[in-house]
Structures are given as C-alpha cells and as structure tokens.
Structure 1
Amino acid sequence: MDTDRYLQPHQARRRAPTVFEDLLGDAIERAFAEGAWTLPELVASLNRGGPGASNGEQWTEESFRALMARLGNEGDAA
C-alpha cells in the first residue's frame, strides 16, 4: 500500500477561483496571521480589511458560514 499519496487541494477544483475568492482567501490568511482564531474575530477582521460580503453588506457570522458552505458544496457538483 502506498502511504505517500495525498490530495493536493488544487486537484479537487472544478474551476479557477474568482477574483473575489482570491481576495477573500488573502484576507482570511491575514486574519489568521493577526491571531484571529474564532469566528467573531475572523468576521471582525474581514469587516476591517477584507472584501465586503458578496451581498455588499458587512460580514456576519451567518453570511460567512453560508458562503463557506456554498463554496464547499460547489466541489460536490458534477
């Protein structure tokens, strides 16, 4: 059995990320680097320096969860 196998995250992509998704990913990485480890801290960081929520409003915990669920489910579509 080959135990050295693993999945590169990019192998599971069905499409390239959008500009919004790239900016959001960068903002999430910055938030983590600044020590934002809880969802409220992450949302506050996004509202200070990330792209706005896709609806043009401030991020909420609910809107962040909903977007992450939607993006995660896109990989399940055939």
Structure 2
Amino acid sequence: MNIADKIKEVLVSDLFVEVPAEEMREDENLRDIFGLDSLGFVELRVQCENIFGITIDDDDFSPDNFSSISSLAGLIERLTSADADPTAP
C-alpha cells in the first residue's frame, strides 16, 4: 500500500470521511471535497506522524502541504526520505 492509499484509509476509518477510498481522487481538496475542519486536520497530522514514524513540524503543517492527498503524500515522502538520509537537509 502506497502513501496516498494509507492517507485515504485514515480519512475513511479514523476521520469518518463519507467518500469511499476507492472514489477519492488524490488532487481533490481535503477541506472542500472531504469536509475536513481544523480538528480534522490536526487528527490527520497526528495519524500520519504515528503511521509513518515522522514528525510534522509546525512550519510543514500548512495549507499548502495539507490541501490534498497528493500534497500530503509529497510531504510525507519528503520527510521519510529525510529520516532515511541523515545528510539530507
């Protein structure tokens, strides 16, 4: 299961988004299409930190990084790569 699929699973099972995972497009807006509110975004951050073993800094907890499944997957990929490569910035 890839990062985007895991995020979809979290949205459905933990955040109770009513759109089935198989119908979610990765470029759809998390707030406008899936109905996430501020508490939902905080919960999504915590779930992603736990599942992927990363820390999402306050600077990275931004609308740009949390606008869609695709943007969040990109952030997680970058953070997991940085954790795997200690020489990465």
Q: TM-score over 0.5 for the alignment?
A: no
TM range (shorter): 0.3 to 0.5
Higher relative contact order (CA 8 A, sep 6+): 2
Structure number having the greater helix percentage? 1
TM-score normalised by the chain length of structure 2: 0.33
